[in-house]
Structure formats: C-alpha cells, structure tokens
Copies of this chain bind each other. A is one copy, B any other.
Amino acid sequence: MTIRLLLADDQELVRQALCALLALEDDFEVVASVGRGDEVVDAAREHRPDVALLDIEMPGLDGLSAAAVLAAQVPGCRVVMLTTFGRAGYLRRAMEAGAAGFVVKDAPADVLADAIRRVRAGERVVDPALAVATLAAGESPLTARERDVLVTARTGATIAEIASRLYLSEGTVRNYVSAAIAKTGARNRVEAVRIADERGWL
C-alpha cells in the first residue's frame, strides 16, 4: 500500500528535487505538487493525498494557514511541515494549525521518509531538540496590539508611520513599543522585533 503525497514548496527546484528524492522510495507516490500555498487545498481535494508536505514560506498562503484549512476541509489528509527554519514559534504554530509532523530541511532524507510513514500511521513526529526549544520559548506574552506594532515596525518604520498605518496616536504606539521592549528584554525596538520574531511571537 503506497502512501500518496502532496508536495508544496515555492522553490521550483527544491520541489522537483524532493519529488525525485521521494520517488526513490517504493512506498511513496507523489500525486500532486504545487508552488503556492493557496493551491494546496484545491490540489488536496482533487488528488486525495494521505500526507501533505508543506513548506512554511510560500506565496499566496503560508504553509501554517494552509495546514489549518487542510485539517478542517480535507479529513484523512495529514500534514507534515517541512521547513528551513527550526524556529520555536513555527513549531508551536504548526501544532496549533493541526500539523502531525515537523521536519527541518537540515534533517537527512531518511528522517523525512520515516516521519512520513509514522505520520501516515497516525503518530505525531517532532524533532525532540526543537520541541524543547519551543517549550523554552514559551507562550507569547505580547498582547494583540503589541504584536501588531512590532510587526509593522519590522520593515523599519518610524513611530509616526506605525501610528498612521494602525490608526493610532504616536503616544500610544510608543507605549506599546515600550511594553514590547520590556517583555522581550530588549534594549531597542529593533532588538525587540528580532527577539519576538525568533520566538515566533509575531
């Protein structure tokens, strides 16, 4: 009994390469391959894969959101997130989105193959080291607005720009930034953004 796979990765070359790699295994069959997050669900509905391999960074719809939609609308299709970054926040969000597995692209091929088979069998598969890091990073202490402000600040916007984009007064924005800096333990807006980003709080 072969395992039917859906492959989603925005990098054409990587996707084709993974396809070639997975084809080496006798029990895998890649039934669909897409390059955009918003094509995942349609493809899954059409081809009914057993397991969907989703990259996180994708145009249209990110892999995490795609996983959530998939879990809701295509029962029987389990999700393995396959991503470059073993960032703590990604893992947490992947779990919340209903993913059954999480593999980083640093891992060797047989880890991926193994993860796919185990997920298919109903298990949940996560790199233990990454799981620890995720627990260490903990839940986000940021309020929704603090998060918004940091997200907007990410591109290098000034306080004034953030304020106008979020329709807030400058003083309010400063307050949120200040709170975020305190909560992240940063000494800068810039550092606060970086830290929060790394922890997956954005």
A interface residues with partner B (beta carbon < 8 Å): 10-14, 16-21, 23-24, 82, 84, 103-109, 112, 155-158, 186-191, 193-194
Contact of A20 among B17, B108, B155, B157 (CB under 8 A): B17
Copies in the complex: 2
Q: How far is the CB of A48 from chain B (nearest CB, A)?
A: 24
Closest residue of B by beta carbon distance from A10: B106
| A16 neighbours in B (Cβ, 8 Å) | 21, 108-109
Q: Which residues of B contact A24 (CB under 8 A)?
A: 20
Indicate if the CB atoms of B190 and A13 lie closer than 8 Å: no
**Extra A-B contacts (19), CB below 8 Å, given A13-B18, A16-B108, A189-B190:** A11-B84, A11-B105, A12-B107, A12-B109, A13-B106, A13-B112, A16-B21, A17-B17, A17-B18, A17-B20, A17-B109, A20-B21, A20-B23, A20-B24, A21-B21, A155-B191, A155-B194, A157-B188, A158-B187
